Structure 1
Amino acid sequence: MAITSLMGDVAMTIKGKMPGQVNIDNKVFQLHYRLTTFLFLGFSILSTTTSLIGHPINCFCRDCEEKGISKEVINTHCWITGTYTLPNKSAVTMRKIGFESHFYGLGTQEPNEYRKYHLYYQWVPFVLFIQGVLFYLPHWMWEINEDGRVHALVHDMRLPNMDKDTLKKKIGNLSMYVNETLGSYDGYYLRFLLCDFLNIVNVFANMFLIDHFINHEFLTYGPRCVRYFQDPSKVDVSPLTFTFPKLTKCEFQLYGVSGTVQNLDALCVLALNILNEKVYLFLWFWLVILSCITCVVFFFRTSLMFVKRFRVPLFQRRAHTLRSQDIKDVVRNIKVGDFFFLSLLAKNLDITAFRMFLAHLARAMRKQGGLGPAARSAQNRRPPTGGHTGQSQHQEGHGTRQSARDGEAEPLAPKEPAGNSTVSTAEIVAYHLNDV
């Protein structure tokens, strides 16, 4: 029950979900600071418990008992100084002295025979905890740089019981602020890009950290285990036992009556490695999968931000509409930082509020001449006045101005215009990549 309670506390701390919380990143980013941090901190807590595996180390030394050295002293000594195996002992030699192949690395040591020391088990909980903190670090850095800007702008627009007039007023204020600050978000986006890139660095750095931590055997640990599980008969020693031995040797030195050093051998059972071998096997697969997903999504999404042709379809799908003139007016000439900031607003506004926001923003940009030459020339291309055409044009212009004045008239209404219902596969893929 204590473990469950601790894991629950860790999950709530990492999740940090509170009413009104806004989304300032993406799903892949969240895999790092939520799920991966939870995994490392959870494994760190799990590795400190004795309720599942008992004492992490138990050593037996018959000569020590005869000399009056207690078992607690031997256990403490071997835990502090570390244990070792003899990797050069072949399977044949081990069978001759009565050991099966899974008792890898045991036997009588020959002169100058290589010892493989195992000291990592002392630090497993601490290293896992530090790695969990490292995976949370990019998110913490981005939160500091973002400084609650999106939350301050949209948190009071997410209330389900807000009346329409209040929502229109708040949307109008938001569109005025965004219009006045367009062009200043490139640094904002670059800071996010740096924190997002740190996730990639973090994954590979942690993989090499673990590899160095467990005697340079982590990078090949997964493939070796897969080959062993496919056909155990082709492998003399299980990679689980080779990397995380359960039976090891320990040397205890005692001074004799004449002052000579007596080396006493102890046989130690590392029960903690039963858990470690599975934890690190899971982490190998998870880190490899996470690194692939992060790299692919990062480079595709970063490239996508600079391709202007995808901006209109992305906002169309966000607003659930194909009536895109206001969207085109907004996104045609904005910078990449502005598009990133508008994408964050789109994630945190509901569909109706986002449609209304785009309509208000487009109108504000038209008033200030914020549209590019192409948009202005399109607006200026009007048929000659006179007759029925002029009357229709006057009525259309009057209706447009009336809609602009009151800010409603179903801005970007989710109606599908005739002949404009085709969305390319590339645009759909771009939308989903931008969303993750």
Structure 2
Amino acid sequence: MIEVFGPLKGLLKLGSIASTKIDNAVFQLHYKVTAPILIVFSLLVTSKQHIGDPIECISKDDIPEKVLNTYCWIHATFSVENAWEKEIGKEIAYPGVDKYKEGDSRVFHAYYQWVCFVLFLQALLFCIPRYFWKCMEKGKIKSLVMDLHNPVLDMEAKSSKINTLVDYMVRNLNNNDNYSTLYMMSEAFNVINVIGQMYLMDTFLGGEFSSYGAQVIKFTEWDFSLRYDPMIRVFPRLAKCTFHRYGSSGDVQRHDAMCILPINIVNEKIYVFIWFWFVGLAVVSCIALAYRVATFFCYDLRVRLLRFRGSLVREEPLEVVARKTKVGDWFVLYLLSKNMHSLHFRDFMVEFARRLDGKGHHNDISEA
């Protein structure tokens, strides 16, 4: 396990204390948690040392086992549709496995060949909104914070950096709306991505994914004589395969085989987890997007959040700043409050309020 997943430790590493925070916890669930999880799953389904051979077929004929396994893996196995409702142990030996007759409806299973690739593609898709936001953000907050995240600074250096930051904010007052809009677009991309991926998996699994988790929950209520784990309908552990070859006289011979699919024991658990994770992530992401929209349109909410982040700042400077800035300026201030030390942020807000109130430049920050 260490050999397989060891290279991923860099992806799973949490950000350092000094790293710049340009998003929130819900945003990070997409690229810091979900993407690495999907990559781990992609590696897991390709690790033969943990699950053995992905397929093992049984036949009474003289077909070499390796040839039969390779053929059935490449050309897909199938289940007989009308065998799902028959009684196990009397009519059939296993759900979906029955004698196939011409005209019977069959469901072919080939998507397990593509699971590792699809999981990896999904992991990349979860990184796209983060990449978009980083490209649009261009390191702005990191440049503005300078060393003000450090609690210990020389007073002269601190005063210089705060005054430089205040000068920038005053010069760019009411010009930050595009910056905040791009962030909200990134959060919207997260919502579109997770919901879109649920539709993608539903298509990939033949329309079974949308109700997958719900069916797993309800499966204990089914009649015992007909009951089978609904996961095996999506990822069968035993399926049929038909191998054709030429006989000694040149006629086409048909050979029937049953194939065990150990890989699907892993796949079914992976997709049960993904179903619940994606549903939860979609709900949380929608709430986060609604919260973001509320902050853009609700002045009182922005004031409360700024007051919460700047708990050391007196009420008067906060009110001045909130009253004279637009939503884009507020968003920049909110990100600054997440990255600056609270004492430095207090001094910055006091000086910023002083400048906005027309009281001019204040040289000695320590007197604030």
Once structures 1 and 2 are overlaid, which stretch shifts more, 160-169 or 134-143?
160-169
CA 1:235–1:179 in structure 2 vs 1: closer, same or farther (change >3 Å)? Answer: farther
Question: Are positions 1:406 and 2:368 aligned together?
Answer: no
Q: 1:35 aligns with which of 33, 36, 60?
A: 33
Q: TM-score, normalised by structure 2?
A: 0.94
Deviation at residue 158 of structure 1 after TM alignment: 2.0
CA contact (8 A) 1:20 1:155 kept: no
1:326-337 to 2 correspondence within 5 Å? 326-337=317-328
| % same residue | 35
Question: Are positions 1:177 and 2:171 aligned together?
Answer: no
Q: CA RMSD in A?
A: 2.1
Partner residue, 1:49: 47
Partner residue, 1:24: 22
Q: SS of the residue aligned with 1:237?
A: coil
| Inter-partner Cα distance in structure 2 for 1:215 and 1:98 | 24
Computing the radius of gyration over CA atoms, which structure comes out larger, 1 or 2? 1
| Inter-partner Cα distance in structure 1 for 2:337 and 2:151 | 17
Partner residue, 1:377: none
CA 1:232–1:144 in structure 2 vs 1: closer, same or farther (change >3 Å)? Answer: farther
| Inter-partner Cα distance in structure 1 for 2:278 and 2:9 | 19
Partner residue, 1:358: 349
Deviation at residue 324 of structure 1 after TM alignment: 1.2
CA 1:143–1:222 in structure 2 vs 1: closer, same or farther (change >3 Å)? Answer: same
Question: Are positions 1:342 and 2:300 aligned together?
Answer: no
Partner residue, 1:83: 77
Once structures 1 and 2 are overlaid, which stretch shifts more, 46-55 or 218-227?
46-55
Partner residue, 1:215: 206
Partner residue, 2:120: 129
Q: Which runs of 5+ in 1 are unaligned?
A: 370-400, 412-436
Q: 2:102 aligns with which of 91, 111, 116?
A: 111
| Inter-partner Cα distance in structure 1 for 2:328 and 2:9 | 33
Partner residue, 1:299: 290
CA 1:155–1:169 in structure 2 vs 1: closer, same or farther (change >3 Å)? Answer: closer
The aligned amino acid for 2:23 is D
The aligned amino acid for 2:72 is C
Deviation at residue 234 of structure 1 after TM alignment: 7.8
CA 1:8–1:316 in structure 2 vs 1: closer, same or farther (change >3 Å)? Answer: farther
| Inter-partner Cα distance in structure 2 for 1:232 and 1:336 | 58
Partner residue, 1:417: none
| Inter-partner Cα distance in structure 2 for 1:149 and 1:321 | 24
CA contact (8 A) 2:81 2:104 kept: no
Number of residue pairs aligned between Structure 1 and Structure 2: 368
Q: SS of the residue aligned with 1:196?
A: helix
- Structure showing greater relative contact order (alpha-carbon pairs closer than 8 Å, 6 or more residues apart): 2
CA 1:270–1:287 in structure 2 vs 1: closer, same or farther (change >3 Å)? Answer: same
Deviation at residue 259 of structure 1 after TM alignment: 2.9
Q: Which runs of 5+ in 2 are unaligned?
A: none
CA contact (8 A) 2:55 2:260 kept: yes
CA contact (8 A) 2:141 2:336 kept: yes
CA 1:82–1:186 in structure 2 vs 1: closer, same or farther (change >3 Å)? Answer: same
The aligned amino acid for 1:315 is L
